[in-house]
Amino acid sequence: MKRFIIAATLMLFAGWVHAADLGGKVLRIGSDTTYPPMEMVDEKTGEIIGFDVDLVDAICERINCVPQFVTTAWDGIFAALQQSEFDMVVSGVSITPERDKQMDFSDPYLVVSQAIMVRVDDEGMTLDGMKGAGRKLASQTGTTNAQLAEELVGRNNVALFDTFAAAVQALRNGDVDGLVIDGTSAAAYEQQFAGELVVGIRGLNSDPLGLVFREGDGMVDAFNTGLAQVKADGTLDKLVLKYWSE
């Protein structure tokens, strides 16, 4: 009996490894690369870099695939996936019930809380103050951040932009009073515009982030296996420290 159990265990392990081996497949990955530090373009080299890039690189090392990130606009990114322009989307995507009805997600790899960035002169602004004073908020079209902005101040007081970079510029210009954004990226913009912008309100809604696939895609299991490995061996924790050590 013991010999049977050992043999069965080895067969199960072999099957698990095979299921998680994508055979060196090259994956075309759509990403809105205007969202530091999740994904961005290195101005010096032109390469796409960031937390999501490092994470997928680490997973692909374990499940034998070759990621090729491709810059694309956020608006239409999921439609492009459905039309097979990409093999998957990796772009700091929040897992929501609505999206999950149309696409498949990996297991969550990060949970982020939303925040409101303001100009330094408004650093003491409270959430009630933001709601009551008829303030105008900005965010990116089609994001859970935009949904939260509308819940807070109403659609008429929300300005939506194609990219967060454009929304940040609107805040700097004084066109809006605050920017609803994931806290992970708010920290990056706070550092980039130190002395000008600050994360004024933290700890709003929390979103789990996932890797996105077409519905029924068999790669989901392989990526979940690889993701479990980078979680277990400490790689994911090291990446979090690399990008959010302060």
Residue 101: Cβ-neighbour burial (10 angstroms; 0-12, 13-18, 19+): exposed
Residue 41, Cα to own-chain centre: how many angstroms?
A: 15
Residue 125 confidence (pLDDT): 87
Least Cα distance to 26 among 87, 72, 85 occurs for: 87
Residue 246 confidence (pLDDT): 60
Residue 101 confidence (pLDDT): 95
Residue 216 confidence (pLDDT): 96
Least Cα distance to 62 among 243, 212, 224, 217 occurs for: 224
Residue 133 confidence (pLDDT): 72
Q: Which bin fits 50, alpha (ψ -120 to 50), beta or left (φ > 0)?
A: left
Tell me how crowded residue 36 is: count the other CB atoms within 10 A of its CB: 21
End-to-end CA distance of the chain: 54
Residue 130 confidence (pLDDT): 83
Residue 132 confidence (pLDDT): 74
Q: How many Cα atoms within 13 Å fall on the side-chain side of residue 232?
A: 8
The ranges of the chain with pLDDT < 70 are 1-19, 246
- Cα 204 from Cα 220, distance rounded (Å): 30
